[in-house]
Structure 1
Amino acid sequence: MVQDSRCESPSPRTLSRCAPWLLVLVTALAFLNVPQNGFVWEDMELVAENQFIRSFTSARSFLTPAYWRQGHVAPRRAYKPATMWSFAVEYKLWRLNPTAYHVSNVALHGANTVLLLALLRRLLDSRAAFIAALLFAVHPIHTEAVDWVKNRADLLSSFFILTALNLFVGRWPPGGRPNGAGLLEYSVSAIRRTRSSASQQADPPRADFTPDPKSAALGDRPAVRPGWRTAAALLAFVLAVTSKGMGLALCPLLVLYVLLFRHPSRWRSALVATWPFWLVAAIYLGFLSVFIKVDPPWAKAATLAELDAASAVRTGLTYIGLLAFPSGLNMDRGLTGGGIMGLGVPLALILLLMASHLLRMPAWRGATAFSLCWVALTLIPSLHLAQVASRLLAEQRLYLPSAGICMLLGMGTAALGRSPWGRALAMGLALQFAAATMHRGFDWRSDAAIWSDALRKCPGSARAHAMWAQAYTVRGHLDRAIRACRTSLSLPPVYTMAYLILGTALDQKGDSRAAMAALERTVEGFPDHAHAHNILGTIYYRLGQTEKAVAAFKTAAALNPFIYQPHANLGDAYRMAGHLEAAIAEYRRALQIAPSLVRERSLMANLLLRQGDFRQAAAEYESVIAVAPDHPELHNDIGLVYQNLGERPRAMAAFRKAISLKPKYPQAHVNLANVLREEDRVDEAICAYQDAIKADPEFAQAYFNLGDACAALGRREEAIAAYERFLVLWRGAPEFASEARASIQRLRPQRP
């Protein structure tokens, strides 16, 4: 018997199970080059240099309103403790390895793609859901959200929004027809009935809606514990809004889902189930207003006449253009009349034509309305009712709105049926998106790369020139950085932060007075910029203007009590002036903010040692050694503390540890020898002094102490030679030289 050699097609269930894994694989391939990238721009302040993520104890500050009012990079704008805690957890796991943070972002994006697929499978047919999720996975507009570590907030908030939606839809599944008839279907039916009743007397109107028998039988009573889904969805909503404020979009999306996908007879129970979400949203907004002091978006406009509707329209058209045609992606995009904004109008019309075609098809009517409203609801917060000084346009803000566009495109291609044209369109669009995403990923490999790309696409951007200069300042290319800053300052409108970058570059080059002038311009433009005051204070101090330096440090500390640098600098200033108590107090404040600081803790311990507070000094040295066990100087210092406390074995162990870490450390050899002499082990002490001289033949102190040790054993010639060598090398206090001469005279035999 001849058997059919053709393989059987995979079952729909098999394809359904493979789809999520396929999407995860596609996501990983599209963002394959992301893990090799480093930290860029605000990643430095939020992650790499953020002392608060370095311990769970200090991370508690993320829960306090004071941190978000004064300590955050963008004060009085948001409350995102969940995002910052995610960085703290990652720091605990892999410190400051940028690859790990990037992998986490890619993993979150993959999870969001799978969650979107799960949601759309409940609302669309499986083919449209898969195409939409596939386009979402590889959409180039997501590169800024995924490739930029600090945009974890967008990914995390979207993750919890999609989780909450899936849980809510699982608790309140679409009622009636599985195609999502809901409000639109009911409204269309009502209009038809009204027209019919006007022409003839008929029975009272009834909904032209045929519930699914299985759904009607089950009603709104899931088989197992329905309450847990709502509670879990509410918890996910809390995490969404504490990841980023855009999580508030969940509330209208839930109402929209109920109206579009559930039978009108079942609206009430599902709508009532949304009230806890609205309550949480109201509490969150009240918390922002009262405790974080966040101003509403329209607060910058004094009157309604000042609200810039034209700016909002231009922003919306630009965003629509980027969502539909993600070309020319740019880190520093402005509102211009051409380019992608010019494409926004025709692209918006094309999308509307596609949507209108789908709205005529009963099978896609509810889902099409849902996708359009999704885009509008999630995009509205990104439109500017009043002009703002920060980034007018940011591609990261399109992460969640892009899901609505992908839904629309998925339905549009699926509506073509299983024809070759439909498959070719879906495959071509996905491949084009994936290629653009991977290409854009290379631009995010470093600060210099992303800002060079921005300059190439927008050479007239003052900020792009300034940020490019900052990237080269970090790399030590100071002349190029200074030229770029001067170019930035010559372009309108003036980007005041360029003065800060210019001042930093000039200061590193050694031109302190020019740096001081640039930083003074910075604090004139941004009087509340704590870091600018702090850097200006360091320059004042270097120029000998101590009073102005201390005043600048105090201003910086008052403006932002969550940064340690002003307190550390005040401690240095007081220490050099001899005000030991004040210096210790400032170092303590710095360590309260950043407990892992090694330099400040060791300096404070040294001051305590100088004050004679040996017990407290020992405790501080032990704390800092626990953090930095490989610093030989710390072991040497704590050895001195133990010596003063009379704990000679611990002192010798500390000195030997310092020597093991740094064999050519003459002071540690001398200190060890001194303790050995106290133990009456003079021969061993002499060997230790000789080791110090081998480590540094010019170390005068070793010769003086060696002379004392040799004299104690009656080795006159060796003692005299050591003292004479000391007199040749010594440049310190004259009383030691006098003592050495007296010892020589005493040791030399007296002539008769």
Structure 2
Amino acid sequence: MRAPVNVAPRPSSPDPSVSPWPVRVLDALGARPRLAVALAAIVPFLGTLGDPPVLDDGWAALDNPLVHSLSNVGRIFRELYGYAGAASVRGPYRPLTTISYALDYAVHGRWTPGYHVVNVALHAAASLLVLALARRLARAAMPDRADRLALVAGLLFAVHPAHVEAVATIFGRTELLAACFAVGSLLLALRWREARWTLPAAVAVLVLGVLSKEFAVLTPVLFALCAVTAPAAAGLAARPGFRTEAGRRALRGTVLVAAALSLAVIPYFLGRRGVPLTVAPVARWFPEGTSAAHIALTMSRVMGEYLRILLFPSFLGGDFAYAARIGTLTEPNPGFWVATIAWVVALAGAVTLVVRRRAPLVALGLLWTFVALLPVMHFIPVGVLLAERLLYLPSVGFCIAAATLLARLGPGAVTAPVARRAPDPAGEDPMEAVRVRLPPVAAGLVLAIAALLATRTVVRALDWRSNLALWESELSKAPRDVVVNNNLAVEYTARRDYARAVERLKVALAVHPSYWRAYVNLGLAYQGLGARDQAQASYLTAMQLAPEPESTGPRYFLALLLRDEGRLDAALAVVRDARRLGPEEGRLARLEGDVLLRLGEAAGARAALERALALDPADGEARALLARTSRPAAAATP
């Protein structure tokens, strides 16, 4: 009699009716991964659709005259981003972002929900691109867990609260567009061996990304990272290197694709026409002359803070909250040491994994995060210390690394082989594959993390629902910040809460006694309280402190006060002095025309009001005043 032969049992699919609920939920999401990720990206941000303009939404989009007509498209390509803002926001070249605002304006004007719908749609698109990228990389590095890993990466990216600032604000669209085009270009570049058109298409898409925001220029480096850590995903037969002929061929291919992608920067530099890459001195976060050692200390602390936001986003805030939390370091402190040790260990671990060829997607994700953060580390001066919106592209790598770790939890339960009917967009062959299901504990952990992040996202989005909510949130984190107190006072004044406005402005001036903008707003608050003498004194102080090119504001409000008091000659002298300093400000011409009309000087009023309308054709008040200049003198005087 022959001895029995031991035959390994064929893996079978567990009965879904007896699977633990976390596994069933994850299986349901995995059955429609694109739908699951898209909904995860959209639902937490539905509350932002009705948000009014906040922070920089005005100068970036709504109040930018370049976006008010599509006939300005040619001019948009000749102007720098921040055209409608102060000198502190001018400098970048992002014509494609501005054109997107122009398209919005052409469809629905200043209706802000339309802008927010586009932002949420772009975030959903970016999340789907992360899903596709993670799937392609995982099928090269972890084929048995690729589908689960891709799903988790897409979900983490879709719901991460670090993205709220980019998605919930109109001005955050720069991050969304650039990330969509950068990841889309990378996906095309990874398929460069599959069809001849993919590499030229990747370069064309990347041009759009670079013209949306500068950091998309990192895509060639990100491609190289993918080629080194997951060569099969880049169509390479071996890991790029010098030791073997196969490695050298892979290296030549990697260099070729990266060089081709680098051509995407040419339109950007042609558009800037020699304008320096660095922001203007007035806009730099670190003033000129700041010690390089102090900058290095501070940015090491900032790097650790960025990693903390990605890993544990408990404390979230705006630019001013982080400035108060970190400050400028002049010597190492405990926060510096904790942050520095954290990022150095993470970076060293990623490099070690690459050298030892272990956990390639963890290494890729961590290196991606560090590389994508380099542009905001002040090697080239920028205008912000730390901002959550700047994490949008870096977080792609982090989410892939985190998803890889979660997908590797436990041995997993193997299901029956599943036949694929057609090639997937990520590029794998139509052949059978073995899927690995996460064990119940790991599946539950994934769902819990996604739920916590989504909840934090919804709560964080509430901070952006209005300027008042934003500045009150910032005040709780930076109670002594000058700009926060000043801007919150503006919101109180707009709501006729003048006493609270005065309280905030006194805090601002106690910290920064020469902050002239606070004196202007203090004058407005005092005027609301009926304290006209104190209001006039505040405007006069602001006039003395403000740089001459910017001192038209204090003069404008002082002239309004004098006009309302009936001191027309004094008001006329002040407004004419303001017009000398700001000849292109339509509001000053309108005010001069109003005062002249009250003085009975119809001809002079007509000339001033016509100038106001030439500067701002949409000024309805100036148009109404101009109509009164043709009336008899007795009727023209209020």
Report the TM-score range of the alignment, normalised by the length of the smaller protein.
0.7 to 0.9
**Are 2:129 and 2:183, in contact at CA under 8 Å, matched by a contact in 1?**
yes
The answer as to 2:297 corresponding to 1:310 is yes
Closer, same or farther: CA 298–233 of 1 in aligned 2, 3 Å: farther
Task: Give SS of 2:274's match.
Answer: helix
Which of 450, 466, 475 lines up with 1:430 in the alignment? 450
The residue aligned with 2:317 is: 330
- Listed one character per residue, the Cα deviations across residues 39-86 of structure 1 (whole Å, up to 9, x for unaligned) are 222224444544543333456653332774675574433122322332
Closer, same or farther: CA 243–38 of 1 in aligned 2, 3 Å: same
The residue aligned with 1:539 is: 558
The residue aligned with 2:187 is: 166
Closer, same or farther: CA 151–588 of 1 in aligned 2, 3 Å: farther
Matched residues in 2 for 1:504 and 1:529: separation? 21
Closer, same or farther: CA 326–519 of 1 in aligned 2, 3 Å: farther
The residue aligned with 2:250 is: 266
Task: Give SS of 1:308's match.
Answer: helix
Shift of the alpha carbon at 1:510? 5.0
Q: Tell me the C-alpha RMSD between the 2 structures.
A: 4.0
Matched residues in 1 for 2:158 and 2:457: separation? 10
The residue aligned with 2:178 is: 157
The residue aligned with 2:95 is: 81
The answer as to 2:620 corresponding to 1:598 is yes
Closer, same or farther: CA 357–313 of 1 in aligned 2, 3 Å: closer
**Are 1:451 and 1:464, in contact at CA under 8 Å, matched by a contact in 2?**
yes
**Are 2:149 and 2:404, in contact at CA under 8 Å, matched by a contact in 1?**
yes
Q: What amino acid is the match of 2:181?
A: F
- Equivalent pairs counted in the alignment come to 550
1:292-441 superposed matches below 5 A:
294-295=278-279, 300-302=287-289, 305=292, 308-331=295-318, 332-334=321-323, 335=326, 344-345=339-340, 348=343, 351=346, 355=350, 359=354, 362=357, 364-365=359-360, 367-384=361-378, 391-416=384-409, 417-418=411-412, 419-441=439-461
**Are 1:69 and 1:293, in contact at CA under 8 Å, matched by a contact in 2?**
no
Matched residues in 1 for 2:345 and 2:276: separation? 42
The answer as to 2:257 corresponding to 1:235 is no
Is the radius of gyration larger for structure 1 or structure 2?
Answer: 1
Shift of the alpha carbon at 1:466? 1.8
Shift of the alpha carbon at 1:137? 0.8
Matched residues in 1 for 2:548 and 2:223: separation? 41
Matched residues in 2 for 1:68 and 1:420: separation? 51
Matched residues in 2 for 1:585 and 1:242: separation? 42
Which of 123, 127, 135 lines up with 1:113 in the alignment? 127
Which of 459, 462, 468 lines up with 1:442 in the alignment? 462
The answer as to 2:500 corresponding to 1:472 is no
1:741-752 superposed matches below 5 A:
none
Closer, same or farther: CA 138–66 of 1 in aligned 2, 3 Å: closer
The answer as to 2:120 corresponding to 1:136 is no
Shift of the alpha carbon at 1:315? 1.4
1:511-550 superposed matches below 5 A:
511=531, 514-519=534-539, 521-522=541-542, 526-527=546-547, 530=550, 533-540=552-559, 542-543=561-562, 544-550=570-576
**Are 1:537 and 1:550, in contact at CA under 8 Å, matched by a contact in 2?**
no
Shift of the alpha carbon at 1:151? 1.3
Task: Give SS of 1:490's match.
Answer: helix
**Are 1:538 and 1:569, in contact at CA under 8 Å, matched by a contact in 2?**
no
Closer, same or farther: CA 380–270 of 1 in aligned 2, 3 Å: closer
Shift of the alpha carbon at 1:368? 3.2
Closer, same or farther: CA 371–422 of 1 in aligned 2, 3 Å: same
**Are 1:37 and 1:98, in contact at CA under 8 Å, matched by a contact in 2?**
yes
* Structure having greater relative contact order (Cα 8 Å, sep ≥ 6): 2
Scaled by the length of structure 1, the TM-score of the pair is 0.64
Structure 1: give runs of 5+ residues left out of the alignment.
173-219, 612-730, 734-752
Matched residues in 1 for 2:297 and 2:493: separation? 38
Task: Give SS of 2:618's match.
Answer: coil
Closer, same or farther: CA 293–395 of 1 in aligned 2, 3 Å: closer
Matched residues in 2 for 1:254 and 1:360: separation? 18
Q: What amino acid is the match of 1:130?
A: L
Matched residues in 1 for 2:184 and 2:603: separation? 54
Shift of the alpha carbon at 1:428? 2.3
**Are 2:597 and 2:605, in contact at CA under 8 Å, matched by a contact in 1?**
yes
**Are 1:312 and 1:385, in contact at CA under 8 Å, matched by a contact in 2?**
no
Shift of the alpha carbon at 1:512? 5.1
**Are 1:65 and 1:291, in contact at CA under 8 Å, matched by a contact in 2?**
no
- Listed one character per residue, the Cα deviations across residues 575-622 of structure 1 (whole Å, up to 9, x for unaligned) are 667776776665555445543333334545665x679xxxxxxxxxxx
Shift of the alpha carbon at 1:370? 2.6
Scaled by the length of structure 2, the TM-score of the pair is 0.74
**Are 2:81 and 2:93, in contact at CA under 8 Å, matched by a contact in 1?**
no
Closer, same or farther: CA 32–122 of 1 in aligned 2, 3 Å: same
Structure 2: give runs of 5+ residues left out of the alignment.
1-12, 139-145, 241-248, 413-438, 563-569
- Listed one character per residue, the Cα deviations across residues 695-736 of structure 1 (whole Å, up to 9, x for unaligned) are xxxxxxxxxxxxxxxxxxxxxxxxxxxxxxxxxxxx999xxx
**Are 2:80 and 2:91, in contact at CA under 8 Å, matched by a contact in 1?**
no
Which of 451, 458, 480 lines up with 2:471 in the alignment? 451
Matched residues in 2 for 1:493 and 1:317: separation? 33
Which of 17, 22, 39 lines up with 2:36 in the alignment? 22
Which of 259, 268, 290 lines up with 1:275 in the alignment? 259
- Listed one character per residue, the Cα deviations across residues 217-253 of structure 1 (whole Å, up to 9, x for unaligned) are xxx3x35xx23x3333333223222222222222432
Matched residues in 1 for 2:555 and 2:459: separation? 41
Closer, same or farther: CA 73–587 of 1 in aligned 2, 3 Å: farther
Q: What amino acid is the match of 2:299?
A: A
Q: What amino acid is the match of 1:76?
A: R
**Are 1:550 and 1:573, in contact at CA under 8 Å, matched by a contact in 2?**
no
**Are 2:285 and 2:384, in contact at CA under 8 Å, matched by a contact in 1?**
no
Q: What amino acid is the match of 1:84?
A: T
The residue aligned with 1:248 is: 217
The answer as to 2:506 corresponding to 1:506 is no
The residue aligned with 1:671 is: none
- Listed one character per residue, the Cα deviations across residues 379-412 of structure 1 (whole Å, up to 9, x for unaligned) are 1222235998x64222111121111211111111
Closer, same or farther: CA 248–169 of 1 in aligned 2, 3 Å: same
Once the two structures are aligned, what percentage of the paired residues are identical? 28
Matched residues in 1 for 2:346 and 2:293: separation? 31
1:518-667 superposed matches below 5 A:
518-519=538-539, 521-522=541-542, 526-527=546-547, 530=550, 533-540=552-559, 542-543=561-562, 544-557=570-583, 561=584, 564-572=586-594, 587=609, 590-604=612-626
Closer, same or farther: CA 68–104 of 1 in aligned 2, 3 Å: closer
The answer as to 2:93 corresponding to 1:53 is no
Which of 103, 110, 115 lines up with 2:117 in the alignment? 103
Matched residues in 2 for 1:144 and 1:402: separation? 13
Task: Give SS of 1:246's match.
Answer: helix
Shift of the alpha carbon at 1:20? 1.2
- Listed one character per residue, the Cα deviations across residues 110-148 of structure 1 (whole Å, up to 9, x for unaligned) are 111001111222112232222122111111111111122
Matched residues in 1 for 2:102 and 2:554: separation? 27
- Listed one character per residue, the Cα deviations across residues 242-287 of structure 1 (whole Å, up to 9, x for unaligned) are 2222222224323433444344313324433443543442553475
Closer, same or farther: CA 294–511 of 1 in aligned 2, 3 Å: farther
